[in-house]
Amino acid sequence: MVSAGDFRNGITLEIDGAVMQVLEFQHVKPGKGAAFVRTKLKNVIDGGVVEKTFRPTEKFPQARIDRVDMQYLYKDGDLFNFMNVETYDQIAIGLDIVGDNMKFVKENEMVKVLSYNGSVFAIEPPLFVELEVTDTEPGLKGNTATGATKPAIVETGAQVMVPLFVDNGDKLKIDTRSGEYLSRV
């Protein structure tokens, strides 16, 4: 059990039957009345953010989030198949849970599968990936003074904005959180 007076950023708790992560917290001691803790909480299952206040003595059970390294095997319709490389157990996760997190992940790459009480609620792709450009228009000569960009399709089918000097067949380093081009490899 964690009391509201001991809240820290990033801690996950079970509050009112939901799994919440503390994004921000602030201890407030008004001149008149009792102290309280003002928080901003994110529901880790559905992503909703709420602001709540608690008395510092309120206690909540800490939620255990399991992060398991798994290998992405293949996509079958709306299902993404993953394998635990230690136990060789395979699971299929639906598109509704995966969302856009897999658009930069190739087959056989490692991802983290997040679950709570055995039910998977999210996928964490690697922070950076290296992908090959499969389709992009040639850059126009003389258009480089402004740092212009153009769209490029990478081998997973995702679109990334890249500088004009990038050509088909180039390997790129991409940040999966923002989808930004970082460099050529």
Domain architecture of the chain: domains with CATH:
2-60 (2.30.30.30), 65-124 (2.40.50.140), 129-184 (2.40.50.140)
Helix (H) or strand (E) holding 97: helix 95-98
CA 138 to chain CA mean position, Å: 32
What does the alpha-carbon distance between residue 131 and residue 168 come to, in Å, rounded to a whole number? 11
CA angle, 11 then 17 then 20, to 5°: 25
Tokens (6 digits) for 122: 């999210």
The 10s digit of each residue's pLDDT in 52-76 is 998 888 899 988 888 889 999 988 8
Whole-angstrom distance, CA of residue 68 vs CA of residue 121 = 12
What is the pTM assigned to this prediction? Answer: 0.69
Evaluate if residue 142 carries a pLDDT over 80.
no
How much is the pLDDT for 83? 92
* Res 99 pLDDT > 80: no
- The whole-number pLDDT of residue 143 equals 58
Is the pLDDT at 137 greater than 70, yes or no? yes
Q: What is the pLDDT of residue 145?
A: 60
Q: Are 60 and 14 in contact (CB under 8 A)?
A: yes
